[in-house]
Structure 1
Amino acid sequence: MAANNSVVGGESSTYEINDRVIVVQVLVSVFLCINFLLITTFFMKDFYTAMRYILFAITLLSDSLLLIMTDILLIFNYFRFSMQMWLCVIIYIVLSIYIFVTPVTLTAMTLERYVAICMPLRHGELCSQSRALHCILIIHGLSSIPCIVSLSIFFASAPFSFYTQGRICSVEIFIFYKWQGHLRSAVQQFYFFMMCITIVFCYVKIMKVAKAAAGEDKKSTWKGLRTVILHAFQLLLCLIQLWCPFIEAAVLQNNLLLYINVRYINYITFILAPRCLSPLVYGLRDETFFLALKSYALCGLYKQQSSNVS
């Protein structure tokens, strides 16, 4: 009887995890469709001439790539598929870089709003299309530093035979010593600290301008302030994501079932949730982008209706 109960319990646990995988597939598919529509709108119009829209497109591309790759790894882990470690290293490099690209880009977008509101006369000079391309290179350069630090230590520690082994790909297999995890944590905390300082600085400066502004300027300034607040919330979720591997590693040592639950919650809350806020911040709140998005989403019907009304 006890054996039967344990079997039933095991089956229900398996079905529960299977349901979760299905939920994740649905959410990822919805977010990818939305992102694809937004990216199409970006390239169909002249949005690539403005820095804030260029940075917005970078977050959409980064989020889409991250969602696809993390979803593939989730499926591989669920079905216990192994792969050659050299392929896992390549996946680890891409994920390590693009986990940082979104929060660093959000910080750059906050700085762009600060320049637009607090330094409007210099906005055209500092936030031109050419400067945006330089900014993209800087964003990817800054995002690559934690990956370079981690991989340098990994390559110095891993034996050559390690790369020919077949294992289930995960972040934990790249850490051989505890101090490697501590070093990675220190680098991530430094990034967290610097981004928080930037967000707070921009918020305070924009708040001062908002209080001093009047009329239409005040309305535009407060709208920019709300955008900064949304960026701060989205950035907070992205940065908490950097702590998830350490929380999961600590839980794994105590309880496997709790580890599975915590990892699922972390994935939904700190990977999927921040990626659905980008369409909200710019795709829906920005009037110009929203009108273009609405036109393409309705296959031009909105544009025809507008012309008929005129």
Structure 2
Amino acid sequence: MAANNSVVGGESSTYKINDRIIVVQVLVSVFLCINFLLITTLFMKDFYTAILFATTLLSDSLFLIMTDFLLILSHIKFTMQMWLCVIMYIVLSMYTFVTPVTLTAMTLERFVAICMPLRHGELCSARRALHCILIIHSLSSILCIVILSIFFASAPFSFYTQGRICSMEIFIFYKWQGHLQSAIQQFYFVIMCIAIVFCCVKIMKVAKAASGENTKSTWKGLRMVILHAFQLLLCLIQLWCPLIEAAVLQIRFEVIFLVKYMNYIFFILAPRCLSPLIYGLRDETFVHALKSCDFFGLSKRNTPKM
């Protein structure tokens, strides 16, 4: 009787895991479809002022494709050589931070537009946006460089030819490496939170001092910054996920897979699904452009004068 209960429980667990995988595939597919439409619109309409937004869409799409791919491989217990896993870790580690750092940059752009409107055209040009993208990727690579430098110095050469299930935890050999990684992540968290709070306070002061049409425009900008802050908060909570999972692992090992699944849904998928909804589908310019675009020749193109 005990053996039968164990078998039934195992089958039920496998069934639940399969359901979770299906849910993730549906969510990722919807997200990528929306992103594809918005990215196509950006390139077809030449929205040079939305360079940071396009960067967020592209980085989020790449990040979710790779994490979803690793999720499926982990589910089927597929092993790969470590040199390939190292390459995937480099990309994922960098693009984990690209979205929150880009959101911080977009918040600063709103701050400049509202609080320093005369300098907005000079500081927020398309050329400076390209420079900003390089800075964003450089800042996002710091943790990856630190962890991989320690990893390359610690791992034997034979390690790279071994076949293992690829996960981010295999690059942590020593406990102090995990503490160092956590410290760097929390440093990012604090700096970004300070930037968001600073911009919100400054914009609120300008909103109170403004009058007429300026008040309406300023409060609209403040609402956008608050949406930035909410999405950024979800992204930054992702940096706490390893700490949460490590604590759960010490308390109850059997629920660790459920905790990882919930973290993936709420703190990886959710923030990256909010980006197109906040900055794309809420923007009338993008909505009109999406309606006027000729996707795959299915509708007659009627290009508005932007």
TM superposition score normalised by structure 2: 0.95
- The question of 1:252 aligning with 2:256 is answered no
- The question of 1:138 aligning with 2:139 is answered no
- Residue of structure 1 in register with 2:269 after alignment: 272
Aligned residues: 303
2-side partners of 1:45 and 1:184: how far apart?
41
Contact 1:37 1:297 in 2 (8 A): no
- The question of 1:35 aligning with 2:41 is answered no
- Structure 1 range deviating more: 251-260 or 56-65: 251-260
2-side partners of 1:114 and 1:293: how far apart?
28
Deviation at 1:217, TM superposition (A): 1.3
Is the partner of 1:242 in helix, strand or coil?
Answer: helix
Summarize the Cα distance change of 1:158–1:40 in structure 2 as closer, same or farther, 3 Å threshold: same
Deviation at 1:280, TM superposition (A): 1.8
2-side partners of 1:9 and 1:285: how far apart?
46
TM superposition score normalised by structure 1: 0.94
2-side partners of 1:296 and 1:214: how far apart?
38
2-side partners of 1:13 and 1:121: how far apart?
60
Dislocated runs of 4+, deviation >4 Å = 297-304
Structure 1 unpaired stretches of 5+: none
For residues 225-304 of structure 1, what are the structure 2 equivalents within 5 Å? Answer: 225-296=222-293, 303=302
Alignment match of 2:122 (pick from 111, 115, 125): 125
1-side partners of 2:254 and 2:286: how far apart?
44
Alignment match of 1:57 (pick from 54, 58, 62): 54
For residues 23-172 of structure 1, what are the structure 2 equivalents within 5 Å? Answer: 23-48=23-48, 50=49, 53-172=50-169
- Residue of structure 2 in register with 1:16 after alignment: 16
Deviation at 1:249, TM superposition (A): 2.6
**Alignment-mate amino acid for residue 129 of structure 1:** A
Is the partner of 1:222 in helix, strand or coil?
Answer: helix
- Residue of structure 1 in register with 2:4 after alignment: 4
**Alignment-mate amino acid for residue 242 of structure 2:** P
Contact 1:192 1:239 in 2 (8 A): yes
Deviation at 1:71, TM superposition (A): 0.1
Structure 2 unpaired stretches of 5+: none
**Alignment-mate amino acid for residue 87 of structure 2:** I
2-side partners of 1:72 and 1:262: how far apart?
19
Is the partner of 1:243 in helix, strand or coil?
Answer: helix
- Residue of structure 1 in register with 2:207 after alignment: 210
Deviation at 1:302, TM superposition (A): 9.2
